[in-house]
Structure 1
Amino acid sequence: MKHLFAIAMSVCMLLPSLAWSESTTHVDKAKSSTTTWLAITDSLEYASSWEQTAELFQKAVPKQNWQSQLEKTRLPLGAVKSREFKVAETARVLPGVPEGQYVVLQYETQFEKSPKMIETVTSTLDGDGTWKVVGYYIKQAK
Protein backbone atom coordinates (compact mmCIF):
# COMPACT_ATOMS: atom_id res chain seq x y z
CA MET A 1 0.00 0.00 0.00
CA LYS A 2 2.88 2.38 0.82
CA HIS A 3 4.36 1.77 -2.64
CA LEU A 4 1.03 2.45 -4.36
CA PHE A 5 0.67 5.71 -2.43
CA ALA A 6 4.25 6.72 -3.30
CA ILE A 7 3.65 5.99 -6.99
CA ALA A 8 0.37 7.93 -6.94
CA MET A 9 2.05 10.90 -5.25
CA SER A 10 4.91 10.83 -7.77
CA VAL A 11 2.46 10.90 -10.66
CA CYS A 12 0.50 13.76 -9.07
CA MET A 13 3.68 15.72 -8.55
CA LEU A 14 4.71 15.23 -12.20
CA LEU A 15 1.39 16.31 -13.74
CA PRO A 16 1.85 20.07 -13.17
CA SER A 17 5.36 19.95 -14.63
CA LEU A 18 4.08 18.02 -17.67
CA ALA A 19 1.32 20.60 -18.17
CA TRP A 20 3.84 23.43 -17.76
CA SER A 21 6.18 21.76 -20.24
CA GLU A 22 3.37 21.43 -22.79
CA SER A 23 2.35 25.04 -22.20
CA THR A 24 5.95 26.25 -22.61
CA THR A 25 6.31 24.28 -25.84
CA HIS A 26 3.06 25.77 -27.17
CA VAL A 27 4.19 29.29 -26.29
CA ASP A 28 7.59 28.76 -27.94
CA LYS A 29 6.06 27.39 -31.14
CA ALA A 30 3.34 30.04 -31.27
CA LYS A 31 5.88 32.79 -30.63
CA SER A 32 8.12 31.51 -33.43
CA SER A 33 5.26 31.36 -35.91
CA THR A 34 4.01 34.79 -34.81
CA THR A 35 7.47 36.31 -35.30
CA THR A 36 7.49 35.02 -38.90
CA TRP A 37 3.94 36.28 -39.47
CA LEU A 38 4.75 39.73 -38.07
CA ALA A 39 7.78 39.98 -40.37
CA ILE A 40 5.53 39.29 -43.37
CA THR A 41 3.05 41.89 -42.16
CA ASP A 42 5.83 44.41 -41.45
CA SER A 43 7.06 44.04 -45.04
CA LEU A 44 3.60 45.18 -46.25
CA GLU A 45 2.82 41.76 -47.74
CA TYR A 46 -0.74 41.88 -46.45
CA ALA A 47 -2.14 39.27 -48.84
CA SER A 48 0.63 36.88 -47.85
CA SER A 49 0.04 37.56 -44.15
CA TRP A 50 -3.63 36.59 -44.64
CA GLU A 51 -2.56 33.39 -46.40
CA GLN A 52 -0.44 32.50 -43.34
CA THR A 53 -3.36 32.83 -40.90
CA ALA A 54 -5.39 29.99 -39.42
CA GLU A 55 -8.32 28.54 -41.33
CA LEU A 56 -10.67 29.95 -38.68
CA PHE A 57 -9.40 33.47 -39.41
CA GLN A 58 -9.64 33.02 -43.17
CA LYS A 59 -13.27 31.90 -42.89
CA ALA A 60 -14.13 34.93 -40.76
CA VAL A 61 -12.16 37.64 -42.60
CA PRO A 62 -12.03 37.80 -46.40
CA LYS A 63 -8.58 38.54 -47.84
CA GLN A 64 -9.68 41.89 -49.36
CA ASN A 65 -11.06 43.04 -46.01
CA TRP A 66 -7.84 42.06 -44.27
CA GLN A 67 -5.71 43.95 -46.79
CA SER A 68 -7.82 47.11 -46.58
CA GLN A 69 -7.90 47.02 -42.75
CA LEU A 70 -4.12 46.73 -42.53
CA GLU A 71 -3.68 49.52 -45.07
CA LYS A 72 -5.85 51.75 -42.88
CA THR A 73 -4.23 50.84 -39.58
CA ARG A 74 -0.62 49.86 -40.23
CA LEU A 75 0.49 52.01 -43.19
CA PRO A 76 -0.04 55.33 -41.36
CA LEU A 77 2.17 54.11 -38.49
CA GLY A 78 5.22 53.74 -40.70
CA ALA A 79 7.93 51.12 -40.44
CA VAL A 80 8.60 49.16 -37.27
CA LYS A 81 11.54 50.67 -35.36
CA SER A 82 11.48 48.17 -32.49
CA ARG A 83 9.32 45.38 -31.11
CA GLU A 84 9.70 43.91 -27.65
CA PHE A 85 7.93 40.75 -26.55
CA LYS A 86 6.09 41.36 -23.28
CA VAL A 87 3.91 38.41 -22.28
CA ALA A 88 2.23 35.22 -23.45
CA GLU A 89 -0.78 33.42 -22.04
CA THR A 90 -2.26 30.09 -23.02
CA ALA A 91 -6.00 29.50 -23.18
CA ARG A 92 -8.47 26.86 -24.24
CA VAL A 93 -11.46 29.21 -24.33
CA LEU A 94 -11.52 32.74 -25.73
CA PRO A 95 -14.50 34.96 -26.57
CA GLY A 96 -15.96 34.52 -30.03
CA VAL A 97 -13.97 31.43 -31.08
CA PRO A 98 -14.49 27.71 -30.57
CA GLU A 99 -12.68 25.91 -27.77
CA GLY A 100 -9.15 25.04 -28.84
CA GLN A 101 -5.51 25.65 -28.05
CA TYR A 102 -4.59 29.33 -28.11
CA VAL A 103 -1.60 31.45 -27.18
CA VAL A 104 -2.11 35.20 -26.78
CA LEU A 105 1.13 37.15 -27.22
CA GLN A 106 1.69 40.83 -26.57
CA TYR A 107 4.43 43.03 -27.93
CA GLU A 108 5.32 46.65 -27.28
CA THR A 109 6.11 48.11 -30.67
CA GLN A 110 7.56 51.44 -31.72
CA PHE A 111 6.62 52.49 -35.22
CA GLU A 112 8.27 55.25 -37.20
CA LYS A 113 5.32 57.67 -37.08
CA SER A 114 3.50 56.80 -33.87
CA PRO A 115 3.79 56.56 -30.12
CA LYS A 116 4.47 53.15 -28.63
CA MET A 117 1.78 50.63 -29.51
CA ILE A 118 0.69 47.31 -28.04
CA GLU A 119 0.24 44.54 -30.57
CA THR A 120 -1.76 41.54 -29.41
CA VAL A 121 -1.45 38.47 -31.62
CA THR A 122 -3.47 35.35 -30.92
CA SER A 123 -2.25 32.08 -32.37
CA THR A 124 -3.99 28.72 -32.48
CA LEU A 125 -2.97 25.18 -33.19
CA ASP A 126 -4.49 24.86 -36.67
CA GLY A 127 -5.94 21.74 -38.27
CA ASP A 128 -2.63 20.99 -40.01
CA GLY A 129 -0.81 20.83 -36.65
CA THR A 130 1.03 24.14 -36.98
CA TRP A 131 0.59 27.32 -34.98
CA LYS A 132 -1.03 30.09 -36.98
CA VAL A 133 -2.37 33.56 -36.27
CA VAL A 134 -6.08 33.75 -35.61
CA GLY A 135 -6.27 37.32 -34.33
CA TYR A 136 -4.41 40.62 -34.44
CA TYR A 137 -5.17 43.77 -32.47
CA ILE A 138 -3.17 46.96 -32.16
CA LYS A 139 -3.67 49.89 -29.80
CA GLN A 140 -1.71 52.77 -28.34
CA ALA A 141 0.28 51.84 -25.23
CA LYS A 142 -0.70 53.54 -21.99
Structure 2
Amino acid sequence: MLIPKKYHFHLVALVAVAVMIFYPILSKKVEPRMLMEGTIAAEDFLHLIDSGQYEQSWNSASALMRDKIFLEVWNRRIPAMRTKVGTLISRHQTDASISDMAEGAPEGKYLTLVYDSTFSKQSTATETVILALEKDENWRVAGYFLK
Protein backbone atom coordinates (compact mmCIF):
# COMPACT_ATOMS: atom_id res chain seq x y z
CA MET A 1 0.00 0.00 0.00
CA LEU A 2 1.37 3.36 -1.00
CA ILE A 3 1.30 6.33 1.31
CA PRO A 4 -0.27 9.44 -0.22
CA LYS A 5 2.29 12.10 -1.11
CA LYS A 6 0.78 14.61 1.32
CA TYR A 7 1.85 12.30 4.23
CA HIS A 8 5.47 11.74 3.14
CA PHE A 9 6.76 14.63 5.24
CA HIS A 10 4.91 13.30 8.30
CA LEU A 11 6.33 9.83 7.77
CA VAL A 12 9.89 11.15 7.41
CA ALA A 13 9.45 13.30 10.52
CA LEU A 14 8.06 10.34 12.48
CA VAL A 15 10.99 8.12 11.48
CA ALA A 16 13.47 10.89 12.37
CA VAL A 17 11.92 11.34 15.81
CA ALA A 18 11.93 7.57 16.40
CA VAL A 19 15.63 7.40 15.47
CA MET A 20 16.44 10.33 17.80
CA ILE A 21 14.60 8.64 20.66
CA PHE A 22 15.68 5.03 20.24
CA TYR A 23 19.19 5.28 18.78
CA PRO A 24 20.82 6.44 22.05
CA ILE A 25 19.01 3.71 23.95
CA LEU A 26 19.91 0.93 21.53
CA SER A 27 23.49 2.01 20.86
CA LYS A 28 24.94 1.75 24.36
CA LYS A 29 28.15 0.32 22.96
CA VAL A 30 31.22 0.61 25.09
CA GLU A 31 34.08 2.67 23.70
CA PRO A 32 37.22 0.53 23.23
CA ARG A 33 39.29 2.57 25.71
CA MET A 34 36.58 2.34 28.40
CA LEU A 35 36.24 -1.38 27.79
CA MET A 36 39.98 -1.94 28.07
CA GLU A 37 40.31 0.11 31.27
CA GLY A 38 37.22 -1.46 32.82
CA THR A 39 38.30 -4.98 31.89
CA ILE A 40 41.72 -4.46 33.45
CA ALA A 41 40.11 -3.21 36.69
CA ALA A 42 37.59 -6.06 36.73
CA GLU A 43 40.17 -8.75 36.06
CA ASP A 44 42.54 -7.37 38.70
CA PHE A 45 39.64 -7.53 41.16
CA LEU A 46 38.69 -11.05 40.08
CA HIS A 47 42.30 -12.19 40.42
CA LEU A 48 42.29 -11.00 44.03
CA ILE A 49 39.16 -13.05 44.70
CA ASP A 50 40.53 -16.07 42.79
CA SER A 51 43.65 -16.02 44.94
CA GLY A 52 41.74 -15.68 48.22
CA GLN A 53 42.74 -12.06 48.82
CA TYR A 54 39.24 -11.03 49.87
CA GLU A 55 40.16 -8.06 52.02
CA GLN A 56 42.36 -6.64 49.24
CA SER A 57 39.51 -7.10 46.75
CA TRP A 58 37.19 -5.13 49.05
CA ASN A 59 39.85 -2.42 49.50
CA SER A 60 40.22 -2.11 45.72
CA ALA A 61 36.45 -1.73 45.18
CA SER A 62 34.59 1.52 44.65
CA ALA A 63 33.53 3.69 47.56
CA LEU A 64 29.96 2.89 46.54
CA MET A 65 30.48 -0.82 47.16
CA ARG A 66 32.48 -0.33 50.35
CA ASP A 67 29.70 1.89 51.72
CA LYS A 68 27.06 -0.77 51.02
CA ILE A 69 28.95 -3.90 52.09
CA PHE A 70 31.01 -3.91 55.27
CA LEU A 71 34.38 -5.64 55.13
CA GLU A 72 33.33 -8.20 57.76
CA VAL A 73 30.29 -9.18 55.66
CA TRP A 74 32.40 -9.35 52.47
CA ASN A 75 34.97 -11.54 54.23
CA ARG A 76 32.19 -14.02 55.15
CA ARG A 77 30.13 -14.04 51.95
CA ILE A 78 32.78 -14.22 49.25
CA PRO A 79 34.82 -17.11 50.72
CA ALA A 80 31.60 -19.06 51.35
CA MET A 81 30.42 -18.45 47.79
CA ARG A 82 33.78 -19.40 46.28
CA THR A 83 34.09 -22.52 48.45
CA LYS A 84 30.72 -23.64 47.09
CA VAL A 85 31.83 -23.35 43.43
CA GLY A 86 35.47 -24.38 43.89
CA THR A 87 38.57 -23.06 42.18
CA LEU A 88 38.46 -21.21 38.89
CA ILE A 89 39.19 -23.28 35.80
CA SER A 90 38.33 -20.77 33.06
CA ARG A 91 36.72 -17.38 32.54
CA HIS A 92 35.67 -15.72 29.27
CA GLN A 93 34.13 -12.27 28.89
CA THR A 94 30.90 -12.55 26.92
CA ASP A 95 29.23 -9.16 27.21
CA ALA A 96 29.90 -5.54 28.06
CA SER A 97 27.48 -2.64 28.37
CA ILE A 98 27.61 0.93 29.59
CA SER A 99 24.93 2.89 31.41
CA ASP A 100 24.36 6.13 33.26
CA MET A 101 22.43 4.30 35.96
CA ALA A 102 22.78 1.22 38.17
CA GLU A 103 20.21 -0.19 40.54
CA GLY A 104 20.56 1.34 44.00
CA ALA A 105 23.32 3.72 42.89
CA PRO A 106 23.49 7.42 42.07
CA GLU A 107 23.62 8.57 38.46
CA GLY A 108 27.07 8.12 36.95
CA LYS A 109 28.98 5.96 34.46
CA TYR A 110 28.64 2.21 35.00
CA LEU A 111 30.21 -0.59 33.02
CA THR A 112 28.76 -4.08 33.29
CA LEU A 113 30.98 -6.99 32.28
CA VAL A 114 29.64 -10.53 32.05
CA TYR A 115 31.84 -13.63 32.12
CA ASP A 116 31.08 -17.27 31.42
CA SER A 117 33.14 -19.14 33.99
CA THR A 118 33.94 -22.70 34.91
CA PHE A 119 34.82 -23.76 38.44
CA SER A 120 35.97 -27.09 39.83
CA LYS A 121 32.61 -27.69 41.56
CA GLN A 122 30.38 -25.84 39.09
CA SER A 123 30.88 -26.40 35.38
CA THR A 124 28.83 -23.42 34.20
CA ALA A 125 28.60 -20.12 35.99
CA THR A 126 28.00 -16.49 35.12
CA GLU A 127 30.02 -13.81 36.85
CA THR A 128 28.82 -10.23 36.53
CA VAL A 129 31.09 -7.36 37.50
CA ILE A 130 29.69 -3.84 37.66
CA LEU A 131 32.24 -1.05 37.63
CA ALA A 132 31.74 2.61 38.47
CA LEU A 133 33.79 5.41 36.99
CA GLU A 134 34.94 7.30 40.06
CA LYS A 135 35.85 10.99 40.42
CA ASP A 136 39.52 10.22 39.78
CA GLU A 137 38.47 8.81 36.35
CA ASN A 138 39.38 5.24 37.36
CA TRP A 139 37.03 2.28 37.02
CA ARG A 140 36.44 0.42 40.28
CA VAL A 141 34.21 -2.52 41.06
CA ALA A 142 30.80 -1.51 42.43
CA GLY A 143 29.24 -4.98 42.38
CA TYR A 144 30.16 -8.64 41.94
CA PHE A 145 27.60 -11.38 41.33
CA LEU A 146 28.08 -15.11 40.75
CA LYS A 147 25.24 -17.30 39.47
* Residue 31 (structure 1) aligns with: 39
Partner Cα separation in structure 2 for residue 116 and residue 133 of structure 1: 23
TM-score, normalization by structure 2 = 0.77
Partner Cα separation in structure 2 for residue 48 and residue 80 of structure 1: 18
* Residue 114 (structure 1) aligns with: 122
Give ranges in structure 1 of 5+ residues lacking alignment. Answer: 1-15
Q: Kindly state the Cα deviation for residue 21 of structure 1 after the two structures are TM-superposed.
A: 9.1
TM-score, normalization by structure 1 = 0.80
* Aligned-partner residue type, residue 123 of structure 1: L
* Aligned-partner residue type, residue 72 of structure 1: A
* Residue 77 (structure 1) aligns with: 85
Q: How many residues are aligned here?
A: 122
> 1:6-41, CA deviations, whole angstroms, 9 ceiling, x for partnerless residues?
xxxxxxxxxx9xx98973321221111101110011
Q: Secondary structure at the match of 1:99?
A: coil
Within 5 A, what are the aligned runs for 1:33-112? 33-112=41-120
Q: Secondary structure at the match of 2:141?
A: strand
1:129 aligns with 2:137: yes
1:27–1:90 CA contact under 8 A, matched in 2: no
Partner Cα separation in structure 2 for residue 38 and residue 102 of structure 1: 17
Identity %: 27
Partner Cα separation in structure 2 for residue 88 and residue 76 of structure 1: 26
- Higher-Rg structure is 2
> 1:31-69, CA deviations, whole angstroms, 9 ceiling, x for partnerless residues?
111011100110011001000000111111101101101
Runs of 4+ displaced beyond 4 Å? 19-22
